[in-house]
Amino acid sequence: MNPVDGLHRPGDSPVHRLRPQVKIVALAAFTCAIAATPREAVWAFGCYALLLAGLFALARVPAAWVLSRSLVESPFLVLALAFPFMVAGPEVHFGFITVSEPGLWAGWNLFAKATLGVWAALLLAATTPVAGVLAGLSRLRCPEILLQITAFAIRYAYLTVAEVTQMRLARLARCDDPRFLWQAGALARSLGVVFIRSFERGERVWQAMAARGYTGRLPLEVGPAPASALQWAAALSAPLAAGVIAAWTAAAA
């Protein structure tokens, strides 16, 4: 995985063409709708999954890619599997296994919502370039100082990661193959060297910026483009549909 391009998959679909700020708001709204849906409304989660699947198809993101990227949440799926055995309540028998009914619901709740949340976030990550996400956050009035730090971090992550990879290759070429933690000394020391290099590079970059008249503010006159009402309407239709389903199921429950 490349840390600098994120998970972005270049393309020219309608989803790619939406302004990033619109997509970020839509993602947050969609995730809230998922979280607010009562766990017993199984069909609602099916609707969300279909909605997201449709959007992935529209953005031409292959299903296999989405499924392999969904594995980030696997530690929490272990928790979901443990719930049926942990939560107290009326019990259900499956052959020789006895599990609690509220526990099963809790596990399902965690599994469904975590998966859908990751899918929604993957849709943003796959269709928006890194610079786009930063521009979108800036349109949404995210504090400028954090965005500038983030932009610098992403820009120099290329170099730092390349340095770490290079040192790893150098270690491997010298037959370094630590199998246990107490053999990992070389790894820790090379991390120290990378830190010294990064910090010194930071000072050099600052000196170069100061030499060009930097006084703590980036002279960026070109702001990110605003989004049209049509774009907002198009992007918010998916979370709106999800919100209606969530409100309906919550009222029914």
Partner 1 sequence: MSDLALHIPTDVIDGPTSLAAVLVAALVVGLCVVRARRHLDERLVPLAGLATAFIFAAQMLNFPIAAGVSGHLLGGALAAALLGPWLGALCVTVVIVIQALLFADGAVTALGLNVANMALIATFTAYAVLTLALKVLPRTRGGLAAAVFAAAVVSVVAASAGFVLQFWIGGEEVGQSFGAMAAAILGTHVLVGLGEAAITAGAVTAVALARPDLVHALRGTRLAQAPRDLKETA
Taking CB under 8 A as the criterion, which residues in 4-23 touch partner 1?
6-8
Footprint (CB under 8 A) of partner 1, residues 158-217: 159-161, 163-164, 166-168, 170-171, 178-185, 187-196, 198-199, 201-203, 205-206, 209-210, 214-216
Tokens read off for 116: 């859908």
3-state DSSP assignment of residue 180: coil
User: Closest distance between partner 1 and the C-beta of residue 11, in Å?
Assistant: 16
The CA-atom distances, in angstroms, between 117 and each of 30, 110, 124, 191, 242 are: 8, 10, 11, 34, 12
From 13, 28, 108, 243, residue interacting with partner 1 (rule: CB under 8 A): 28
Q: Which of 171, 66, 168, 79 is nearest to 123 (CA)?
A: 66
Between CA 38 and CA 105, with CA 79 as vertex, the angle to 5 degrees is 30
What is the smallest separation between the CB atom of 87 and partner 1, expressed in angstroms?
5
Give the nearer residue to partner 1 in terms of CB position, either 39 or 227: 39
Interaction between residue 131 and partner 1 (CB under 8 A): no
Cβ 59 to partner 1 shortest distance, Å: 14
- Relative to beta strand 91-94, strand 97-100 is antiparallel
Contact by Cβ (8 Å): 84, 93: no
Q: For partner 1, give the closer residue by CB, 210 or 228.
A: 210
How many residues in the shown chain lie near partner 1 by CB under 8 A? Answer: 95
The number of beta carbons lying within 10 Å of the beta carbon of residue 84 is 22
The helix, strand and coil proportions of the chain, stated in percent and rounded to the nearest 5, come to 70, 5, 25
- In the complex with partner 1, the residue whose CB is nearer, 54 or 143, is 143
Contact positions with partner 1 (CB under 8 A) in 149-168: 149-157, 159-161, 163-164, 166-168
Per CB under 8 A, which of residues 43..102 are in contact with partner 1? Answer: 69, 72-73, 75-76, 79, 82-83, 85-88, 102
